[in-house]
C-alpha cells in the first residue's frame, strides 16, 4: 500500500445519495483475477452509453474536473462488499472520498486500499459541493497527520476522525496482514484454550 | 454485567485488544471465485502460508452459468476465474465444492445446509450477505478482499466492536406476509444507511416464530440497511435444523454444543445502543419501487409524494430510472420477468411456497419466469418432491444453482428497460443487467405476479 500523508488537489462533485458499489463498479467487471485496471470501468453505466461513447453530462467526462478527491452524497459505498470499488476509484486516480456518511465495509476497504474516506458534516458537504460546482479548481488540502481538510479559499480548516491505528497504517503504508501475522503465537495459544471445538 | 448476545460471541473470540481494536478470531471462512483470487495473490506475493486451511470452505457460485453446468464454462473470463479458484484450492489444500459437486451452491445457502453454520461461531466471507448465517446466532459478516487475505494468513481480523441494535417485531404476521416482507418493511422504515455502524439482533415473537429459512431471509438483508450483520438468538428451531447435518457435532459433542448454545441469548437487562420495536400486524406484503432496498412500500401502497429536499435529486433520478412517478400506485403494472433465486430466497422452503401457489396454474404468457435453486441439494430435493414438474407444467423454468440474475455476472441478465420482480436482495441500477428494472418481493409475491402478469394485491389471490 502506498503511503498517504498530505494531498493538495481539487474535488470532483457527485451529489447523489446512497451511491452503491454496483454503480462504482458493476458486477460484470468483477471477472478479473488481479487488482489492476478497474479504473476504466469506474461508474461505467453512468459514464458511458451502451455503445461505449462517453456521456458528456457525467462529471468524470467533464474536463473541468481533474482533482483526486471525489466529493459524494451521503451514505457512499453502500451495498456489496467488493473491494474492487475502492480499487476502481484508486486506479482512476482518486486518493480520497469526501462524504457525510460511509457504508462500513466500503470504509474499511478504502482504508486497506490507501484511499482516504473523509467524513464531513452534512452542512460542510453541501457547502463543498456547491463551491466546487461554482469553481471546479477550488483547492482542497488534506493533512492526514493533522487530521484536517483545509479549504484555503475560505480560510477554513475542518478536522476529521480516523482510527489512530488506521491512520498510522496509511501514513506508513502498512496494512493489517503484517500486524496479524506477527500475532500468530498468541492466536495459536487462543485456539488451544477456546471452549468450542466442534 | 448483562450483555447482548452479540457481545457474548464477540468477547469469546477476542485474542487480544489494543485501544479501540480487537484481534478477533474467525472460526469459519467461506470463499468463492470472485473475491478470492487477489487474496491468494497477496499471500503468494508476501510469501505467506495459509494459516488454517481446514477452516476454509470454497464454492463457485457468483459467476457460474445456470444451464448446462456439466459442460465447460463457455465465457472465457468466467471460466478462468472459476479455474483459478480450483487451482488455488488445490495448491493450498482447501475443500472446494465446485461446479458439478453435489454440495455446490450459493455460499450462504450451502453453509447452513451442510451444518457448517452453527450458533456461537464467527464466520466471514468476501460477500456482504454473509450476515445470512446470523440466523443461527453466529456473528457473521462480509469482508473485503484485503481482509480475506488477512483471515487466510492469520485466521483473525483486526476490528472495532460495532454498536448494537435490537429490532423487535412482536405479534403475528398476517396471511400472505412472509419473512421477506418483514425485512423489506424494516428496511423501508430505517433506510439504506439506518443501521450503519451497528450489528443488529432481531427479536420478538414474530421473529421467533419464523422457520430457519425465514430467519435466514431476514438476517440476509441486514446489510441493506447498512448493518455490519444481523443475528437471532438460537433456540429449539435452530437446534432442530442443525441436528444431523454433515458438519454438525455428533454424539457427546452434540450435547456439549447444545448446552453451550443454550447460553447464547441477550441477558435480560442488556443495553443496546439503539432499539426499535414494530408491530407484526402492521406489516403487509411489500414491494420496492426504486433503486435501493429501502425504497419499499406495501404492494397496495403508493410511491411517496414528498421527500426531504436533500434527497430529492437522488429520489427523482431513481424514479426516472424505474419509469415510475411520485405518488402513483404500482397495482396493474405489467411485469416482464420473474426471478426466484439468490441467497435471500432460493431455499427449499421458498421453492415449496412458489410450487404450492402455482400448482395447476399457468404463468402469464408475456412473463419469463425462472427459478434458480440455491444449491445442488435444493435442486435435488425439489426434483425428489416433484416440484420440478409443477414448475414445468406452470411454464416456470428451473435452472441449475448459482447467484444468477441476482447480480447478473453470468448470462442471466434482464434486458434494459424490462421490469423484473425478483426475490433477491438488491434493486440497484443495473444490478440485474444494464438498464434492468428490479422490484424486490417475496417468493409468494413473485409467484402470484408471474401468474397474473402484473402487480396485484396478492391478498386477493391467496390459495
Ligand atoms: S445470490 Fe446475490 S447477494 Fe447472494 S451471494 Fe450471490 S450475488 Fe451475492
Q: Which three cell numbers stand for residue B133?
A: 448465517
Partner-chain contact A177 B150, CB within 8 Å: yes
Is the separation of the CB atoms in B147 and B228 below 8 Å? Answer: no
CA distance A111 to chain B (A): 10
Domains B5-276 and B290-460 share a fold: yes
B108-126 pLDDT tens trace:
999 999 999 999 999 999 9
d(CA B23, CA B60): 29
In the block, residue with C-alpha cell 487466510: B152
Question: Domain B5-276 in CATH: superfamily?
Answer: Aconitase, domain 3 (3.30.499.10)
Among B145, B311, B313, whose Cβ lies nearest the Cβ of A83? B145
Q: What residue in B sits closest to A179 (Cα-Cα)?
A: B158
Beta strands, E only, B47-121: 56-59, 95-97
Domain ranges of chain B: 5-276, 290-460
| Residue A88 cell numbers, joined | 476502481
Nearest to B446 by CA among B325, B345, B343, B330: B345
Beta-strand runs (E) in A77-187: 96-99, 116-119, 139-143, 148-151, 156-159
Question: What is the pTM for the complete model shown?
Answer: 0.96
CA distances from A113 to A78, B226, B254 (A): 17, 21, 42
Test site for ligand 1: of B30, B62, B340, B346, most ligand atoms within 8 A of the Cβ: B62
List beta partners, residue B168: B203, B277
The distance from CA B160 to its chain's CA centroid, rounded to whole angstroms, is 24
CA distance A121 to B331: 40
CA distance A172 to A164: 12
Give strand pairing partners of A117.
Answer: A97
For B291, the grid coordinates are 433503486
Give the Cβ contact number of residue B22 at 10 Å: 20
B266-310 pLDDT, tens digit per residue, is: 999 999 999 999 999 999 999 999 999 999 999 999 999 999 988
| pLDDT per residue rounded down to tens, chain A (198 residues) | 899 999 999 999 999 999 999 999 999 999 999 999 999 999 999 999 999 999 999 999 999 999 999 999 999 999 999 999 999 999 999 999 999 999 999 999 999 999 999 999 999 999 999 999 999 999 999 999 999 999 999 999 999 999 999 999 999 999 899 899 999 999 999 999 886 665
Residues of B in contact with A190 (CB under 8 A): 15, 25
pLDDT reported for residue A197: 62
In this complex, the residue of B78, B153, B254 whose CB is nearest that of residue A31 is B78
CA angle A40, A41, A44 (to 5 degrees): 130
pLDDT score recorded for residue A175: 86
Tell me the CATH number for domain B290-460.
3.30.499.10
Contact in structure between A78 and B426 (CB atoms under 8 Å): no
Q: Is the ipTM of this complex over 0.90?
A: yes
A152's grid cell: 484555503
Interface mutation target, options B64, B107, B123, B144, chain A, most CBs of A under 10 Å? B144
Quick one: angle between helices B348-358 and B387-394, nearest 10? 50
In B299-375, which residue ranges form alpha helices assigned H by DSSP? 312-322, 348-358
Chain Cα centroid distance, residue B407: 12
pLDDT value for A196: 63
HEC string of A55-93? CCCCHHHCCCCCCCEEEECCCECECCCCCHHHHHHHHCC
Amino acid at each position: 500500500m502506498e503511503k498517504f500523508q498530505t494531498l493538495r488537489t481539487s474535488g470532483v462533485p457527485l451529489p447523489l445519495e446512497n451511491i452503491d458499489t454496483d454503480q462504482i463498479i458493476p458486477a460484470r467487471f468483477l471477472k478479473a483475477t488481479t487488482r489492476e485496471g478497474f479504473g476504466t470501468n469506474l461508474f461505467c453505466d453512468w459514464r458511458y452509453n451502451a455503445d461505449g461513447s462517453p456521456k458528456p453530462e457525467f462529471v468524470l467526462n467533464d474536463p473541468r474536473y481533474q482533482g483526486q478527491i471525489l466529493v459524494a452524497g451521503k451514505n457512499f459505498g453502500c451495498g456489496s462488499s467488493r473491494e474492487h470499488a475502492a480499487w476502481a476509484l484508486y486506479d482512476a486516480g482518486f486518493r480520497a472520498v469526501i462524504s457525510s456518511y460511509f457504508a462500513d465495509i466500503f470504509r474499511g476497504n478504502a482504508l486497506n486500499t490507501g484511499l482516504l474516506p473523509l467524513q464531513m458534516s452534512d452542512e460542510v458537504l453541501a457547502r463543498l459541493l456547491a463551491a466546487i460546482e461554482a469553481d471546479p479548481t477550488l483547492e482542497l488540502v488534506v493533512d492526514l497527520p493533522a487530521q484536517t481538510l483545509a479549504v484555503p479559499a475560505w480560510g477554513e480548516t475542518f478536522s476529521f476522525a480516523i482510527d489512530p491505528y488506521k491512520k498510522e497504517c496509511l501514513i506508513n503504508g502498512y496494512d493489517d496482514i503484517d500486524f496479524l501475522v506477527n500475532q500468530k503465537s498468541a492466536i495459536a495459544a487462543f485456539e488451544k484454550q477456546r471452549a468450542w471445538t466442534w | 454485567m448483562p450483555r447482548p448476545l452479540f457481545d457474548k460471541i464477540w468477547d469469546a473470540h477476542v485474542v487480544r485488544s489494543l485501544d479501540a481494536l480487537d484481534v478477533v478470531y474467525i472460526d469459519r471462512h467461506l470463499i468463492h471465485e470472485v473475491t478470492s483470487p487477489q487474496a491468494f495473490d497477496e499471500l503468494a506475493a508476501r510469501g505467506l502460508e495459509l494459516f488454517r486451511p481446514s477452516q476454509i470452505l470454497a464454492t463457485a457460485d457468483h459467476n457460474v452459468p445456470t444451464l448446462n453446468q456439466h459442460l465447460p464454462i463457455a465465457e472465457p473470463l468466467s471460466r478462468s476465474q472459476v479455474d483459478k479458484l480450483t487451482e488455488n484450492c488445490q495448491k493450498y489444500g482447501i475443500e472446494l465444492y465446485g461446479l458439478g459437486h453435489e454440495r455446490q451452491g450459493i455460499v450462504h445457502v450451502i453453509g447452513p445446509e451442510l451444518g457448517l453454520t452453527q450458533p456461537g461461531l464467527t464466520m466471514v466471507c468476501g460477500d456482504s450477505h454473509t450476515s445470512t448465517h446470523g440466523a443461527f446466532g453466529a456473528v457473521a459478516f462480509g469482508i473485503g478482499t484485503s481482509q480475506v487475505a488477512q483471515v487466510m494468513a492469520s485466521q483473525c481480523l483486526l476490528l472495532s466492536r460495532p454498536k448494537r441494535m435490537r429490532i423487535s417485531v412482536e405479534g403475528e404476521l398476517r396471511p400472505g406476509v412472509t419473512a421477506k416482507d418483514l425485512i423489506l418493511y424494516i428496511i423501508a422504515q430505517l433506510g439504506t444507511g439506518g443501521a450503519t455502524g451497528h450489528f443488529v439482533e432481531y427479536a420478538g415473537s414474530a421473529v421467533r416464530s419464523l422457520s430457519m429459512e425465514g430467519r435466514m431471509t431476514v438476517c440476509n438483508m441486514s446489510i441493506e440497511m447498512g448493518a455490519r450483520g444481523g443475528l437471532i438468538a438460537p433456540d429449539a428451531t435452530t437446534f432442530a435444523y442443525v441436528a444431523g447435518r454433515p458438519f454438525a457435532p455428533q454424539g457427546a459433542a452434540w450435547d456439549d454444543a447444545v448446552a453451550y448454545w443454550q447460553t447464547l441469548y441477550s441477558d435480560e437487562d442488556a443495553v443496546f445502543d439503539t432499539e426499535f420495536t414494530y408491530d407484526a400486524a402492521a406489516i403487509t406484503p411489500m414491494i420496492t419501487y426504486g433503486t435501493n432496498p429501502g425504497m419499499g412500500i406495501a404492494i397496495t401502497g403508493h410511491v411517496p409524494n414528498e421527500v426531504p429536499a436533500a434527497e430529492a435529486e437522488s429520489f427523482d433520478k431513481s424514479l426516472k430510472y424505474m419509469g415510475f412517478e411520485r405518488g402513483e400506485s404500482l397495482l396493474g403494472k405489467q411485469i416482464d420477468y420473474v426471478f426466484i433465486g439468490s441467497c435471500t430466497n432460493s431455499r427449499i422452503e421458498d421453492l415449496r411456497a412458489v410450487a404450492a401457489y402455482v400448482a395447476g396454474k399457468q404463468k402469464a404468457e408475456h412473463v419469463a419466469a425462472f427459478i434458480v435453486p440455491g444449491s445442488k441439494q435444493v435442486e435435488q430435493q425439489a426434483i425428489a418432491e416433484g416440484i420440478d414438474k409443477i414448475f414445468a407444467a406452470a411454464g416456470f423454468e428451473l435452472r441449475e444453482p448459482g447467484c444468477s440474475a441476482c447480480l447478473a455476472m453470468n448470462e442471466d441478465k434482464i434486458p434494459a428497460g424490462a421490469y423484473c420482480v425478483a426475490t433477491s436482495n438488491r434493486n440497484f441500477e443495473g444490478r440485474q443487467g444494464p438498464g434492468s428494472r428490479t422490484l424486490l418481493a417475496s417468493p409468494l409475491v413473485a409467484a402470484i405476479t408471474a401468474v397474473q402478469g402484473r402487480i396485484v394485491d396478492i391478498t386477493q389471490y391467496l390459495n
